C-alpha cells in the first residue's frame, strides 16, 4: 500500500487512521469514516480502488468537487470519470462505454441519477467492487444538510449485496452516525472517528460592532490570500461583494439565485486564483477543495454548530495556519429566531431551536471554543488552553457586573416583562421613540439610566444574564424577557454578580499567521516555482494546486533537489508527476542555484521551523513591473496576466520595498488630487489605505491612493522625478 501511495499520490506515509481504514475496505468490510476536512478521507477509497479488481463507484452531491477529484486523479495517473448534469449526452455515453470496458477505475456519480431506471440498468452492467458514499450525513434528516436524493442509496445495497460500502463524512453527531448506518443498511460496520481537531485553524468570535471595518482589517492582513465570507442572504452577499470591490479588493458574490453558468464561472475563478474573495451563502464551498484558503469569515450567525464547523473547515486544508472569524450580534440571533418561528412543522421547529441554542452557546462561551467544538462532535478535549482561539489567546478579566445587572432586571420588571431585548435597551439608553412614549415608559425611573453604555454592549449583557439564568426567554420568533426566580433572588438579596470580559477588543488573530510562523524556505525560489506552476495549470486548464500544493513547493524551495531522485522525495511527487513535471521544475531550481550560487540554500533546519523568510523579487513581480513600465494601467496588467488588480498592487509594493524604482507618472492622479492624498498620508501614516480613504471620501479611488503611497515610499513627492 505504501508503494502505491507514493507511486500514485506522492506521499511517503499515511495520515492518522488511513492505513487501518484501507485495510478494512480491502477486507471487504462495511465502513463508516468520520474525518475532518483535510484529513484525507478521499484516499480511504481511492487507494483501495487501485488494488481491487473491478470499478469503485463514488456517490457525491458535489458537482464541482467531482470534477476536481477526477482532474486530480488523472493528473496522478489514475483512470477516473464522472457522470452528472454538467455532461452533454455524448460525453456521458462515452464515459459509460469506458466504464463498461473497464477503462475507468473510479467513477463519480450524482445521487439523483440512482433513481433513473436507465441508469440502474447501466450500473448492473458494471463490475462494481466498492461503493463509496461521500458526504454521507446528507442521508440523515438529523444532519445539517439533508438531501432527499440520498434516500435512493438504499437501492445500491439491494442491487450489489456482496459489495462493501464505505460511508464518509466530516461532521456527524452520534444520532446522525446511527442514522447513516441504518439508512444505508451497513452490515456491522467498522466505525472510524478521527480527531476533529484542526490545529492549524484559529477560531475567533467577536462582537458585530463595525463589522465592515473589522472585515477590511482582516482582508488587509491576509492580502493576496484566498478568503471566503459567509453571509445570511443572497442580497447581503451581493452588497458585501460590491463594498469590497469598491475598496479595491478582488471579490465576487455567490448564491443559489445566480445562473448556474455564472456560479460555475465564479467557482473556477476562485479555484484558479483569478479572484481572491468569494462572498457567499452556504450554497458555496461544499464542492470546493481549494487547499490554500487562509481566511473564513462568518459575517452573520451560522444556523448550526455542524454547519459552522464544516464551513470553517474550508480554511487551511493544506495544513498551513489559517483564521476563522465569526461576527456575533444579538440582532442576528433574533433574525434566526424569527425565521424558525415560521416553520410550520412542530418537530422541525423544535430541531431548529435546539440547533440555534447550540450555536448561541458557542458564541457566549467564556471558556475554550475548540473544547466546545470537539466535545459537541463527540471528542473529549481535556486541555484547558488550546492556544488557538480568542478565549485562550486573549487574557480575560473579571468585572463587577452587579450594578448593570440590577438596572437591566429592574427595567424588565418596570416595563411588564413583555418586551424583547431591543425595547429594553431603548428604555435603558433613553431612546424616546414613538413606541416608548406611547406606553409612557419614558417617565419610568429606569428610563435613560444606562445612556452612557453602547447599545451592542447592553445587548451582550442581556444575553449574559440569560446565559447565567437571571433572565428567562418566553416565546419564539422575537422572544420576550422575564426575570427568573434566580433573578428575583439576586435583586431581593442584593447579591453580587461577577462576569468576565476580554481585556481588550477581540483580536484580529496573531497566533497562526505572520512572520513568527513562516517557514524557512527560500521565498525567491518559491515565487519562481509558483510562476511555473501557474503557467502549467493555465495550459492544462486546471487549478494550480492540482499541479503541486504549496507544501510541495515549499519543500522544493527548501531542499532544492537537483536531480530526479531527489525530486521524487518531495511530498506530492508520484510517478506520473515525476515523469510529466520533474524536468521543468528541476530546470528552474538548477538555474536558480547557478544564478545565486550554492550558498543560496538556506540553513538546513526543519521545513516548519520558524525562521525569517528570505526576501527577494520573483520573476512574476518583475513581469508586472516590466508591463507597468510600458505605460500600462493596473487593470490592463491584471487582465493580461490573469491575476487580480490587488495582486498587481502588492507586486509593486514588494518591488519598491526591496529598493526598486519605477516610473509611476502615467498612473498618477492630477496634481491637486495627488497633493491632497499626500497630505492625508502624512497626517495619518502610510500603514493602511482605509483611514485615508475615509478621510478623503469615496470620490478618491483605491488605485489613486495606492499609487501615491508607492511614490511616497520610493521617496518621490509631488514634482520629483524618479532617480
pLDDT in tens, 426-439: 999 998 788 888 89
Distance CA 620, CA 626 (A): 10
- In this predicted model, which residue has the larger pLDDT, 112 or 65? 112
Average pLDDT, integer, range 84-107: 91
- Tell me which of 340 and 684 has the higher pLDDT: 340
How many beta carbons lie within 10 A of that of residue 239, not counting itself? 14
Report the pLDDT averaged over residues 577-581. 92
d(CA 661, CA 625): 10
pLDDT at 110 over 70: yes
Q: From 267, 270, 184, select the one nearest 226 (Cα to Cα).
A: 270
Mean pLDDT of the region 697-722: 75
Overall average pLDDT of the 55-77 stretch: 87
- Provide mean pLDDT across the span 537-549: 84
Using only C-alpha atoms, the chain has a radius of gyration, in whole angstroms, of 28
Q: How far apart are CA 289 and CA 316, in angstroms?
A: 11
Residue 392: pLDDT band (50, 70, 90) is confident
- Retrieve residue 682's grid coordinates: 502624512
Nearest to 40 by CA among 170, 161, 146: 170
pLDDT at 612 over 60: no
pLDDT in tens, 139-182: 876 655 667 778 778 788 888 888 999 999 887 778 888 888 88
| DSSP one-letter string for 378-443 | T-----S--SSBHHHHS-EEEEE-HHHHHHHHHHHHHTTS---HHHHHHHHHT---HHHHHTTGGG
Per-residue confidence (pLDDT) for residue 518, from 0 to 100: 35
| pLDDT at residue 203, rounded to an integer | 96
SS3 label, residue 260: helix
Structural contact between residues 11 and 319, judged by C-beta atoms closer than 8 angstroms: no
The β-bridge partners of 230 are 280, 298
pLDDT per residue as tens digits for the range 187-240: 889 999 888 898 899 999 987 867 888 898 899 888 878 999 999 889 999 999
Q: Is 582:559 a contact under the CB 8 Å cutoff? A: no
**Averaged pLDDT, 607-617:** 36
pLDDT at 646: 66
The residue among 64 and 378 whose pLDDT is bigger is 378
Lowest mean pLDDT among 7-16, 289-298, 497-506, 567-576: 497-506
Is it the case that residue 506 has pLDDT exceeding 50?
no
Instruction: Give the model's pLDDT for residue 613.
Output: 32
Residue with cell 463514488: 58
E runs forming strands in 90-161: 106-109, 128-133
Interior angle at CA 50, CA 46 and CA 56, nearest 5:
60
Closest alpha carbon to 223 in 419, 471, 514: 514
Q: How far is CA 647 from the centre of its chain?
A: 20
Lowest mean pLDDT among 66-80, 233-247, 354-368, 627-641: 627-641
Q: Residue 293 forms beta bridges with which residues?
A: 226
Fold of 515-600: DNA polymerase; domain 1 (1.10.150)
- In degrees, to the nearest 5, what angle opens at C-alpha 74 toward C-alphas 72 and 75? 65
319: Cβ contacts below 8 Å, ≥ 6 apart: 38, 200, 551
In angstroms, the Cα distances linking 629 to 622, 652, 661 are 10, 11, 10
Mean pLDDT for the stretch of residues 252-270: 88
Cα-based torsion angle of the residue sequence 231, 232, 238, 239 in order, rounded to the nearest 10 degrees: -90
Q: Both ends of the chain: CA-CA distance in Å?
A: 62
Q: What percent of the chain has pLDDT over 70?
A: 88
In this prediction, residues 81-87 reach a mean pLDDT of: 88
What is the spatial distance between Cα 327 and Cα 329, in angstroms, rounded to a whole number? 7
- Please name every residue paired with 206 in a beta bridge, in sequence order, or none if there are none: 327
Q: Is residue 126 a contact partner of residue 99, using CB atoms and an 8 Å limit?
A: yes
| CA separation, residue 635 to residues 250, 468, 627, 641 (Å) | 12, 54, 11, 10
| Residue 407 pLDDT exceeds 90 | yes
CATH superfamily of 2-193: P-loop containing nucleotide triphosphate hydrolases (3.40.50.300)
pTM: 0.61
In 3-state terms, what secondary structure has residue 200?
Answer: coil
More confident residue, 602 or 237: 237
Look at 22 and 156; give whichever has higher pLDDT: 22
CATH topology assigned to domain 397-502: Arc Repressor Mutant, subunit A (1.10.10)
Tell me the sheet residues that pair with 523: none
Residue (of 162, 160, 154) closest to 115 by Cα position: 154
What's the mean per-residue pLDDT of the chain?
Answer: 83
The per-residue pLDDT for 602 is 41
Q: What's the whole-number mean pLDDT along residues 322-342?
A: 85
In SS3 terms, 268-327 reads as: HHHHCCCCCEEEECCCCCCCCCCCCEEEEEECCCCCCHHHHHHHHCCCCCCCCCEEEEEE
pLDDT attached to residue 520: 67
- CATH architecture assignment, domain 201-394: 3-Layer(aba) Sandwich (3.40)
Tell me if domain 2-193 and domain 397-502 are identical in fold.
no
b/e burial code for range 643-673 (CB count within 10 A of at least 16 → b): bbbbbbbbbbbbbbeeeeebebeebbbeeeb
| The pLDDT of residue 514 | 34
Give the residues across from 1 on adjacent strands.
Answer: none
Residue 505: predicted pLDDT: 47
Pairing between strand 293-298 and 226-230? parallel
Question: How far, in Å, CA of 643 to CA of 273, rounded?
Answer: 7
In this predicted structure, the answer to whether residue 413 has a pLDDT above a threshold of 90 is yes
Highest mean pLDDT of the ranges 2-11, 125-134, 170-179: 125-134
Which comes out higher in pLDDT, residue 605 or 633?
633
The whole-angstrom separation of Cα 504 and Cα 716 is 39
Residue of 377, 387, 283 lying closest to 35 (CA atoms): 377
Provide the pLDDT confidence category of residue 643 given band limits of 50, 70 and 90.
low
| Residue predicted with more confidence, 334 or 348 | 348
Q: What are the residue boundaries of the structural domains of the chain, listed by start?
A: 2-193, 201-394, 397-502, 515-600, 646-713
Residue 284: pLDDT over 80: no
Give me the residues paired with residue 167 across strands: 32, 133
Distance of alpha carbon 618 from alpha carbon 605, whole angstroms? 23
Residue 312 has pLDDT above 90, yes or no: yes
Q: Please tell me the distance from the alpha carbon of residue 93 to that of residue 96, in angstroms, as a whole number.
A: 5
Q: How sure is the predictor about 604, in pLDDT bands with cuts at 50, 70 and 90?
A: very low
Amino acid at each position: 500500500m505504501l508503494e502505491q501511495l507514493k507511486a500514485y499520490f506522492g506521499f511517503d506515509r499515511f495520515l492518522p487512521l488511513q492505513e487501518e481504514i484501507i485495510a478494512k475496505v480491502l477486507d471487504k468490510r462495511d465502513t463508516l469514516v468520520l474525518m475532518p476536512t483535510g484529513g484525507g478521507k478521499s484516499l480511504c477509497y481511492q487507494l483501495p480502488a487501485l488494488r481491487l479488481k473491478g470499478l469503485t463507484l463514488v456517490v457525491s452531491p458535489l458537482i464541482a468537487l467531482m470534477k476536481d477529484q477526477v482532474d486530480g486523479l488523472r493528473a496522478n495517473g489514475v483512470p477516473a470519470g464522472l457522470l452528472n448534469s454538467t455532461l452533454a449526452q455524448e460525453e456521458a455515453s462515452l464515459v459509460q462505454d469506458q466504464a463498461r470496458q473497464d477503462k475507468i477505475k473510479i467513477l463519480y456519480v450524482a445521487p439523483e441519477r440512482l433513481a433513473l431506471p436507465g441508469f440502474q440498468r447501466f450500473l448492473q452492467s458494471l463490475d462494481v467492487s466498492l461503493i463509496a458514499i461521500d458526504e454521507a450525513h446528507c442521508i440523515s434528516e438529523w444532519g445539517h444538510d439533508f438531501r432527499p436524493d440520498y434516500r435512493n442509496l438504499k437501492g445500491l445495497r439491494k442491487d450489489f449485496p456482496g459489495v462493501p460500502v464505505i460511508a464518509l463524512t466530516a461532521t456527524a453527531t452520534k444520532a446522525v452516525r446511527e442514522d447513516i448506518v441504518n439508512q444505508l443498511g451497513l452490515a456491522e460496520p467498522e466505525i472510524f472517528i478521527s480527531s476533529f481537531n484542526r490545529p492549524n485553524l484559529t477560531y475567533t468570535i467577536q462582537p458585530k460592532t463595525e463589522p465592515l471595518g473589522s472585515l477590511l482589517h482582516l482582508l488587509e492582513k491576509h492580502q493576496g490570500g484566498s478568503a471566503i465570507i459567509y453571509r445570511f442572504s443572497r442580497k447581503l452577499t451581493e452588497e458585501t461583494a460590491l463594498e469590497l470591490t469598491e475598496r479595491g479588493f478582488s471579490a465576487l458574490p455567490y448564491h443559489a439565485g445566480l445562473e448556474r453558468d455564472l456560479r460555475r464561472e465564479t467557482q473556477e475563478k476562485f479555484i484558479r486564483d483569478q479572484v481572491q474573495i468569494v462572498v457567499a451563502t452556504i450554497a458555496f464551498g461544499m464542492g470546493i477543495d481549494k487547499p490554500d484558503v487562509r481566511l473564513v469569515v462568518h459575517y452573520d450567525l451560522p444556523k448550526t454548530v455542524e454547519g459552522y464547523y464544516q464551513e470553517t473547515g474550508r480554511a487551511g486544508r493544506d495544513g498551513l495556519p489559517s483564521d476563522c472569524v465569526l461576527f456575533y450580534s444579538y440582532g442576528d440571533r433574533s433574525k434566526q429566531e424569527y425565521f424558525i418561528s415560521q416553520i410550520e412543522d412542530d418537530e422541525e421547529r423544535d430541531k431548529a431551536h435546539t440547533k440555534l441554542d447550540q450555536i448561541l452557546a458557542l458564541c457566549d462561551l467564556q471558556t475554550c471554543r475548540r473544547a466546545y467544538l470537539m466535545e459537541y462532535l463527540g471528542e473529549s478535549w481535556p486541555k484547558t488552553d488550546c492556544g488557538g482561539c480568542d478565549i485562550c489567546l486573549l487574557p480575560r478579566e473579571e468585572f463587577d457586573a452587579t450594578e448593570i445587572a440590577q438596572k437591566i432586571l429592574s427595567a424588565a420588571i418596570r416595563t411588564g416583562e413583555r418586551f424583547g431585548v431591543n425595547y429594553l435597551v431603548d428604555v435603558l439608553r433613553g431612546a424616546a421613540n414613538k413606541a416608548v412614549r406611547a406606553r409612557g415608559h419614558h417617565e419610568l425611573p429606569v428610563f435613560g439610566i444606562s445612556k452612557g453604555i453602547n447599545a451592542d454592549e447592553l445587548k451582550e449583557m442581556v444575553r449574559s444574564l440569560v446565559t447565567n439564568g437571571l433572565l428567562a426567554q418566553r416565546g419564539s420568533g422575537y422572544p420576550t424577557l422575564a426575570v427568573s426566580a434566580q433573578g428575583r433572588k439576586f435583586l431581593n438579596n442584593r447579591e453580587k454578580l461577577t462576569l468576565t470580559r476580554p481585556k481588550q477588543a477581540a483580536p484580529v488573530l496573531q497566533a497562526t499567521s505572520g512572520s513568527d510562523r513562516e517557514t524557512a524556505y527560500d521565498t525567491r525560489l518559491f515565487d519562481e516555482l509558483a510562476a511555473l506552476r501557474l503557467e502549467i495549470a493555465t495550459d492544462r486548464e486546471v487549478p494550480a494546486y492540482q499541479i503541486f500544493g504549496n507544501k510541495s513547493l515549499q519543500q522544493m524551495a527548501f531542499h532544492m533537489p537537483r536531480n530526479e531522485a531527489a525530486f521524487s522525495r518531495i511530498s506530492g511527487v508520484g510517478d506520473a508527476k515525476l515523469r510529466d513535471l520533474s524536468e521543468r521544475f528541476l530546470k528552474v531550481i538548477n538555474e536558480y542555484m547557478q544564478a545565486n550560487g550554492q550558498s543560496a540554500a538556506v540553513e538546513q533546519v526543519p521545513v516548519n521551523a520558524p525562521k525569517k523568510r528570505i526576501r527577494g523579487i520573483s520573476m512574476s513581480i518583475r513581469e508586472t513591473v516590466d508591463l507597468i513600465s510600458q505605460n500600462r494601467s493596473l487593470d490592463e496588467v491584471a487582465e493580461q496576466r490573469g491575476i487580480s488588480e490587488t495582486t498587481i498592487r502588492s507586486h509593486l509594493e514588494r518591488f519598491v520595498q526591496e529598493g526598486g524604482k519605477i516610473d509611476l507618472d502615467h498612473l498618477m492622479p492630477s496634481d491637486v488630487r495627488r497633493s491632497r492624498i499626500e497630505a492625508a498620508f502624512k497626517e495619518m501614516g502610510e500603514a493602511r489605505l482605509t483611514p485615508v480613504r475615509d478621510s478623503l471620501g469615496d470620490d478618491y479611488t483605491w488605485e489613486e491612493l495606492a499609487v501615491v503611497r508607492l511614490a511616497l515610499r520610493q521617496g518621490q513627492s509631488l514634482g520629483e522625478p524618479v532617480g
